[in-house]
Chain A
Amino acid sequence: MKRRSPVFLARRGYRLRRIRDAARLLPVAGGFLFLLPILWGPSGNERRVTASDGIYIFIVWLGLIVAAALLSRPLREETDTAPAGGDGR
């Protein structure tokens, strides 16, 4: 069954703005995920498990990089119009 898409004008511009929102949200999400290990502190006398904590951190890290890479392409087009500083260089 074909999904009905809502009527929307300037779809591309809207999508671009949401991508910008996502780019702004990304560090917030990353910060949250990086700080998460603080919360799952070991109970009792147990110590933290370095290996699993490490794997978690690296997975989040890689996830952020992939997300940033995906977002950077459309955003890159937008930075296009940057003028040089005053005179031709």
Chain B
Amino acid sequence: MRSPLVYTLSLSIYCTAWTFYGAVGYAARSGLEFATIYLGPTLVFVGWWWVLRKLVRIGRQQRVTSIADMVSSRYGKSNTLGVVVTLICVCAATPYIALQLQSVTLSFGVFAASGTYGWALPDTNSTALWVAAGLALFTILFGTRNLDANEQHTGVVTAIAVEAVVKLVALLAVGIFVVWVMADGPADIIARINGSAMAGWDLVPSRWAGLTFLSAAAVITLPRMFQVLVVENSDERHLATASWAFPLYLLGMSLFVLPIAVVGLQVMPTGANPDLFVLTLPLSQGQGALAMLAFLGGFSSATSMVIVASIALATMVSNHIVMPLWLSLRATGPVPGDVRRLVLLARRLSIAGVLGLGYIYYSLSGGSAALAAIGLISFAGVAQMLPAMLGGIFWRGATRHGALAGVLTGFAVWTYCLFLPSFGPGGVLPISVFLQGPFGIGWLRPYALFGVAGMDPLIHALFWSLTLNTTIFTSVSLLSFPSPVERVQGLAFVNVFDPERAEPQGWAQGKAEPEALLVMAQRILGDDTALGFFEQQAVLQGKDGYLPDPTPEFLDALERRLAGSVGAATAHAMISELAGRARITVADLMRMAGETAQIVEHSSQLESQREELTRTARQLREANAKLTQISVQKDAFLSQISHELRTPMTSIRAFSEILMEGDMPPEMIAHYARIINEEAIRLTRLLDDLLDLSVLENGTVQLNLKLANLSELIDRSLRAAGHIRPERRFIVQRDLPAEQIFLRTDPDRLGQVLINLISNARKYCDAARPELRIVVRQRGGRVVIDVIDNGSGIPRNKQALIFEKFARLTDQSRAGGAGLGLAICREIMANLGGSIGYLPGQGGAAFRMTLPLRLEKPQNEVAA
């Protein structure tokens, strides 16, 4: 049933009862202008390679369910936009549906009045009501049988195709009857046209061009046209056939319009409604069967339009208004109950509601206005979607805010300049508004906006609404920023023919529970369909069973599948609930970023990342080197310390063994005992030093802070160190006045350092006349103490080592210590908040101590 022919014929819902009856009336009133309503669509279809092909491809790829879905999906699956478009479509379609009711009612009236079958209708209003109710019932029965994926209604489409044949055959039959039976062929018709009031016609350039454009826009944006053109399309190749076959159909529908009009004007009594010539002309000639056929044709036109339009509108209302409301009203949690029944119910109610609105409009407007006028108002209403739609599929820069602002502006202008005035002066807008403008503001008169008077009202409204719409759409788009989802969707829409770039995935891996997804899908798609889909996806992933891994690919496919039933925005929201927010990866953004700025941004990002990595690597290298060094130091320390401990132990053991043998003179025993004692003391000192060092290094030393006079401290230290090699006489040079400094520090510890330095000088200074110089200076808040002797000093290559543990420059016998002294000094100075260093170039060994004048608190954190 899905052939290019059926597709083409289903497109014929463009030709409604308005076309079927109204075109003749239109031609009778305005000559050839009626043709513009078909010329626009002809151009669009002939140029299918531009727009239609892209629309259909996008529609199939994104599983678009309606025009509102398409617009909302393009602009970041924004439901706000979906709601706005839905409302506009309902507003614009309502008069159109009223128009169909009116035409059916009128045609019923014609039959009833002619009395062929002797039945008369009580009044037209109740006819319209019955027709509306009947259509609603039919649409509900056949249009909402199931919630099919992608919203395709094969049965309805087929029925529409049949109806398309009926109306074409009917109109052609009437036309042939008129041309070859009532007149004598085409030549006679031309002669009649030239002889009639229709011989000449006024071509108003603005209307001619404007209406062609309007009909071209409407054929894309009318919800019912979008439904059959995009949503119901089952094969893109059908479009190639439709590109010429649909214009041909339109040509066929309009070929005999002019002849029927001209003959009708001649034959029918003056005052007869030209809108009904198709019906009344055969009747007047006694051709009841032909008139019946014509009536059927008109009825088919009306019903097929109403059915498709209400299905399209109901889909939009249920997907963009009811479902989001339901989703937000219920508490978060698993999707309860059977969503399909809810959606179907919403759809059925929407169909009834849409038809009810149409009927109300019909009753209110009184069915008085000429048919064509209502149709064109509706066209202009839906044409407001055109900028957002074309901008959305051709311009990646189009944003949601731009689309929303543009559509709302266009809709407002349309409502004010065309829709409300269509109820007639004094209908909705008071007459004063037409004459003086609202609140007396002249330039806001609905037919002369901004003072542009004298334009045809329809063209005036079309011009202003679309101009303002497009201007605001583009300028707001230029000024606003799209969200990531919007950018992804924009890319997918604009580059729909470039599959490499058009398929970004928005979902993060692994957050959703496949089972929860299955439960939700079952409630929307139905048990079997959902299970089948999940199984198929699992097989694609190479898994057994029904639960595929929630990969981004799977979530994408599922979202699209659900979008086919409930619309993109709702499907997105539902999956978001289970899978968390859609995540746009850097790769997606990269794919989108054709702009250099994006690349530059990214590369600078990489650059900074790289720098950070380099920094971290360097830090790690340094840490590693330090660790290695410390490990080496530790090993050296261990071997040193065992050596240091072993030497005194060895002599203690040796001498104690000798003592154990006994048989020795007492003085020898005393001598050996003294040696053992000395070695034990040395061992103890070594252990004390090690303990001291360990305490100092850990920073756990308790400092005994108090005020101390530096001069006294140095005196004490000199005295204490005096017992080291007391045989040497040192000349000590001091600057006593400079030493009169009161320090707040730990004097015992500082003294320890000083004693150590002075002792070293006494021990190692190898000058013949040893001198010791102690220089004290105050620099800012710090005190500098230099201890300098006149020996040969420390060789340059050893200077770095002297503060290390067990560092000894000479052999052990001379030193008599463990080589921990300077290491302890360094730690003490660090604990006192200062430092100690070797001072080269002083003509001997020189050490400089620096320490703060006032040490505020124990510097525990100065650990080694």
The reply on A34 being an interface residue by CB < 8 A is yes
C-alpha gap A35/B206 in the complex (Å): 10
Asked whether A69 lies within 8 Å of B203 as measured between CB atoms, the reply is no
Tell me if A's interface is mostly helix, strand, loop or mixed. Answer: helix
Q: Mark A59-71, 1 if CB is under 8 A from B, else 0.
A: 0011011111101
The reply on B46 being an interface residue by CB < 8 A is yes
Asked whether B240 lies within 8 Å of A75 as measured between CB atoms, the reply is yes
The reply on A89 being an interface residue by CB < 8 A is yes
The reply on B560 being an interface residue by CB < 8 A is yes
Closest to A30 in B: B43
The reply on B172 being an interface residue by CB < 8 A is no
Q: Which residues of A (39-89) have their CB < 8 Å from a CB of B?
A: 41, 46-51, 53-54, 57-58, 61-62, 64-69, 71-73, 75-76, 79-80, 82-89
Asked whether B47 lies within 8 Å of A24 as measured between CB atoms, the reply is yes
Asked whether B255 lies within 8 Å of A58 as measured between CB atoms, the reply is yes
Known: A35-B209, A35-B212. A79 touches B201 (CB 8 A): no
Closest to B537 in A: A87
The reply on B236 being an interface residue by CB < 8 A is yes
The number of A-B residue pairs with CB atoms under 8 Å apart is 142
Give which listed residue, B47, B57, B235, B255, contacts A26 with CB less than 8 A: B47
Asked whether B50 lies within 8 Å of A82 as measured between CB atoms, the reply is no
User: Nearest Cβ distance between residue A48 and chain B, in whole angstroms?
Assistant: 5
C-alpha gap A83/B46 in the complex (Å): 23
Asked whether B42 lies within 8 Å of A61 as measured between CB atoms, the reply is yes
Known: A24-B47, A24-B49, A50-B31. A87 touches B240 (CB 8 A): no
Q: Which of B59-67, B132-140, B472-480, B587-595 contacts A (4 or more CB under 8 A)?
A: B59-67
Asked whether A27 lies within 8 Å of B46 as measured between CB atoms, the reply is yes
The reply on B728 being an interface residue by CB < 8 A is no
Known: A50-B258, A64-B42, A87-B536. A37 touches B239 (CB 8 A): no
Asked whether B39 lies within 8 Å of A85 as measured between CB atoms, the reply is no
Asked whether A72 lies within 8 Å of B244 as measured between CB atoms, the reply is yes
Give which listed residue, B31, B50, B241, B248, contacts A24 with CB less than 8 A: B50
Asked whether B201 lies within 8 Å of A89 as measured between CB atoms, the reply is no
Asked whether A53 lies within 8 Å of B32 as measured between CB atoms, the reply is yes
Known: A27-B46, A49-B194, A58-B255. A38 touches B203 (CB 8 A): yes
The reply on B205 being an interface residue by CB < 8 A is yes
Known: A48-B203, A64-B247. A85 touches B564 (CB 8 A): yes
Closest to B64 in A: A85
Known: A68-B45, A69-B244, A87-B561. A50 touches B236 (CB 8 A): no
Q: Which residues of B (543-590) have their CB < 8 Å from a CB of A?
A: 556-557, 560-561, 564
Asked whether A65 lies within 8 Å of B247 as measured between CB atoms, the reply is yes
Write out the residue numbers on chain B whose beta carbons fall within 8 Å of the beta carbon of A75: 49, 240
Asked whether B62 lies within 8 Å of A85 as measured between CB atoms, the reply is yes
Q: Mark B33-53, 1 if CB is under 8 A from A, else 0.
A: 001000100111111111001
What are 29 residue pairs bridging A and B, where the CB atoms are less than 8 Å apart in the complex?
A23-B47, A23-B48, A26-B46, A27-B43, A27-B44, A28-B47, A30-B43, A30-B46, A34-B43, A38-B205, A46-B200, A48-B201, A50-B194, A50-B201, A51-B193, A51-B199, A57-B39, A58-B251, A61-B42, A61-B251, A64-B42, A64-B46, A65-B244, A68-B247, A75-B49, A82-B237, A85-B62, A86-B561, A87-B557
B interface residues, Cβ below 8 angstroms from A: 31-32, 35, 39, 42-50, 53, 57, 60-63, 149-150, 190, 193-194, 198-203, 205, 208-209, 212, 235-237, 239-241, 243-245, 247-248, 251, 255, 258, 499, 533, 536-537, 556-557, 560-561, 564
